[in-house]
A and B are shown apart, each in its own frame.
Chain A
């Protein structure tokens, strides 16, 4: 199947070309864009069940490596590549400091991850992707923080991949094979006999996945990394790369099906239950930390991993509705997160800073971006009829159907909190007073506008016709041996407790809006006034020599909440990792003292070592 190989080779070729012509920024971006398009074209040719295998004479074993298309992988492939097309299209004109060849390398790796049938190539691709992203992050803002961020990410992800490596070899030494399918079915077969054992191996993998997706307690790298990554890379990082972890979880979650008959918690096997809690806690922690952020990229970084928490909580249930909801939310997250980050990138590229409290009022200058952002956060908040609603709605139903009310309340709290921080970002960036220093800010270029219009359209379209996504998801659910949810048309979302016709909701909302605007039109006329013309008890701000910046309330927007949130902020996972790093460093500096530079010490060491060996020799003599 040459198309499968093309999915790997096209990006690699593109990457090489992009690396060569790096100096010519436009050409590089064009290459990047066209590579994504070509990859997408090849993808169209691919159907579920396509496979390609080759065997590698490696280490005296004959290792079968292969690529295969499952419903899940084709879903993931479409998601990532199509999003990449959009992103690179947007990037054609925007100043985003992205290294195209790294992005394309990441694409190749991600395609490989989704198609791999054996752990060997899975790990290879995983590493490749990780490293390409690390390097991409190094190319971001050239500051000490950026370096720190990338290092932090690198450490976490190296730790994760070593953990996965251990898992892979523990497993392959048991089965003598690297094939994912064989290994998983082996695990299924011993699941009931040695559950702890299986759990040990699987958690080795899970650590890697959790790191990649930023699941609590491995979320600490996320803000550093997103905050300091090149602007253009962040949308890809947050929308696409965080999904690899989810894909990884889905490899192993079928294991829990065999535990269904074992007593668990609330009808759930306890591994699932634990993962649900990890997901919920992640969602809450992300939201709460996002609350106090002033850096826009960091804020949405937190938002991003909060949403990953939602997804994990849903898929961890591994019921038809949970799985559907999780995957659906994964898709929606891709869309709205993409919309949000693309607008954020657009704003940053025009304004040049990332501190939200120094922005404001930009809706006057960038109306379309403002609208896109609005639709994006509406979707993120789960407001019907936009795309995010259906999945959140299903997640809640999936959770409650198992009686996981605590976790559900946590998720709902996360959802509300997300509404709050989204509003705050919305306000701080786009609303309020426009500073005079942004008088010359312009709306983004035509290509950017096209992207944004497309995103708005997609967010609304998939909000109204979720069936277009739910259909493939149903086949994924079927491929895991679960009974898919009933489908009754493209406009329906069928939950556990109820189903919703999105079209009728959409029509109701539209009609209501028409009515609203009619009312607006027939009621008395208004006159437009400049932004400074505000109610200030009889005076105008100019009388007090106020500038728009001073007349903007956006710093410490939720200051009264500080006290309530403080307990959450005290959970310093970050500090734990830092402290760990510090103690390693301390250990290093003490060990270094062995090498004093004195030749006698070295001689002592050598002779002493020898003497110890001799004594050891006597003891066993």
Chain B
């Protein structure tokens, strides 16, 4: 029985992974298209990202040793693992473990792996890029945490599934209505998480030569792409679950995610890039302020728990 159950979960998990990857790649393709249209170009087809991934995985490449390999594998695998705890629409693979902080820390493991692989390449430019990425992370995680903790306190639960369940029953129950400031903060944070302008210091195409990906080629770059796509799905998914009340079915879930991402892309299209320390300090100012303000409101609303 256990084995059957395991196999069922395995296949479901595989499916979720594939779905997330596909969605992420598709979003990426659409974003490129939108970007092109804004810039009055024709742009690549929606499916370009799928083709790119396939091409990268099948091309020969250069490796800098086992730490490099291990790191890059560890860079996208935890993202996939984290997916398994995310309520996607009505469906969650491990509903009893869908703790939000756990997911956040699993994502961090992906960054750790990515960083390890990239740094093991021995290229100083990748190190510079990595330091930028990390600094950026120090920036956006703090307001993100503030918002997450407000939601924890507000919902009295840490399960994403339960947070979603609490928002059922109409638009007015969504957290976006109850906590608009928090949502605003998270939306800004999302910009940074996805590495879009004005926070694309690390992974901007123009900065490839001095970015983390300078030494990546072939399947390694493909792994990076997988990581980015899954992260796109995961991060937008988390926000959908947190603020937009989850979704009754998969398609609506994707639609909500796309709305979020669309905003991100639009912002990306119109803003220039900040310098990295400006970006970090920006995160420590406005979004953090919003997040903290939200937290104060929540605490005042909710009173305090007596233990």
Contact = CB atoms under 8 A, between A and B. Distances in A.
B277 A515 contact: no
A509 B222 contact: no
Nearest to B123: A534
B105 A526 contact: no
Contacts of A561: 135, 138, 277, 280
Contacts of A531: 64-65, 122
B149 A396 contact: yes
Contact count band on B: 35 or more
Given A381-B112, A419-B108, A409 B145 contact: yes
Interface stretch (A117-125, A244-252, A424-432): A424-432
B116 A402 contact: no
Interface stretch (B22-30, B124-132, B190-198, B255-263): B124-132
Contacts of A560: 131-132, 135, 275-277, 280
Interface string B137-148: 110011001100
B122 A267 contact: no
A423 B134 contact: yes
B152 A523 contact: no
Contacts of B145: 408-409, 412-413, 416
A378 B277 contact: no
Interface in A517-564: 517, 519-520, 523-529, 531-535, 537, 548, 551-554, 557-558, 560-564
Contacts of A402: 304-305, 307
B168 interface: no
A382 B99 CA distance: 14
Nearest to B132: A560
B99 A500 contact: yes
A400 B152 contact: yes
Given A370-B67, A403-B153, A420-B134, A526 B124 contact: no
Contact of B77 (A505, A509, A533, A562): A509
A532 B215 CA distance: 12
B106 A267 contact: no
Contact of B97 (A378, A504, A554): A504
Contacts of B66: 367
Contact of A529 (B62, B135, B159, B223): B62
Interface residues of A, number: 89
Contacts of A383: 105-106, 108-109, 112
B232 interface: no
Contacts of B299: 266, 403, 405
B84 interface: yes
B304 A432 contact: no
B152 A497 contact: yes
Nearest to B162: A498
A563 B277 CA distance: 8
A431 B146 contact: no
Contact of A393 (B101, B127, B280): B101
Contacts of A321: 307
Contacts of A405: 146, 149-150, 153, 292, 295-296, 298-299
A428 to B, nearest CB: 9
Nearest to A419: B108
B96 interface: yes
B89 interface: no
B122 A432 contact: yes
Interface string B59-79: 111111111010001101110
A401 interface: yes
Nearest to A322: B307
B142 A513 contact: no
Given A501-B97, A528-B63, A266 B106 contact: no
Nearest to B214: A535
A93 interface: no
A505 B152 CA distance: 21
A516 interface: yes
B122 A378 contact: no
B108 A409 contact: no
Contact of A423 (B94, B115, B120, B132): B115
B119 A509 contact: no
Contacts of B17: 515
Contacts of A389: 102, 105
A501 B62 contact: no
A22 interface: no
Given A405-B149, A509-B77, A552-B124, A423 B142 contact: no
B142 A374 contact: no
Contacts of A381: 105, 108, 112
A403 B123 contact: no
Contact of B158 (A397, A528, A554): A397
Interface in B249-294: 275-277, 280-281, 284, 288, 291-292
A508 B92 CA distance: 14
A363 interface: yes
A534 B126 CA distance: 10
B47 interface: no
A560 B280 CA distance: 10
A374 B116 contact: yes
Contacts of A419: 108, 111-112, 134, 137-138
Contact of A524 (B58, B65, B128, B302): B58
Contacts of A513: 73-74, 77
A417 B138 contact: yes
Interface string A354-371: 000000010110010010
A529 B120 contact: no
A527 B209 contact: no
Contacts of B120: 363, 431-432
A520 B69 contact: yes
A265 to B, nearest CB: 9
A366 to B, nearest CB: 11
A511 interface: yes
Interface in A557-615: 557-558, 560-564
Interface of A: 266-267, 319-321, 361, 363-364, 367, 370, 374, 377-378, 381-384, 389, 392-393, 396-397, 400-403, 405-406, 408-409, 412-413, 416-417, 419-420, 423-424, 426-427, 430-434, 495-501, 504-505, 508-509, 511-513, 515-517, 519-520, 523-529, 531-535, 537, 548, 551-554, 557-558, 560-564
Interface of B: 10, 13-14, 17, 57-67, 69, 73-74, 76-78, 80-81, 84-85, 94, 96-99, 101-102, 105-106, 108-109, 111-112, 115-116, 119-125, 127-128, 130-132, 134-135, 137-138, 141-142, 145-146, 149-150, 152-153, 156-159, 209, 214-215, 218-220, 222-223, 275-277, 280-281, 284, 288, 291-292, 295-296, 298-299, 302, 304-307
8 contacts: A405-B298, A409-B146, A431-B122, A512-B77, A520-B219, A532-B122, A534-B215, A558-B131
Given A420-B137, A509-B81, A560-B132, 19 more contacts: A402-B304, A403-B304, A405-B295, A408-B145, A409-B142, A427-B119, A501-B97, A505-B102, A513-B74, A523-B57, A526-B63, A526-B218, A529-B62, A533-B62, A534-B215, A552-B124, A553-B125, A557-B131, A564-B284
The 5 tightest CB contacts between A and B, nearest first, are: A497-B158, A498-B158, A553-B124, A412-B145, A431-B119
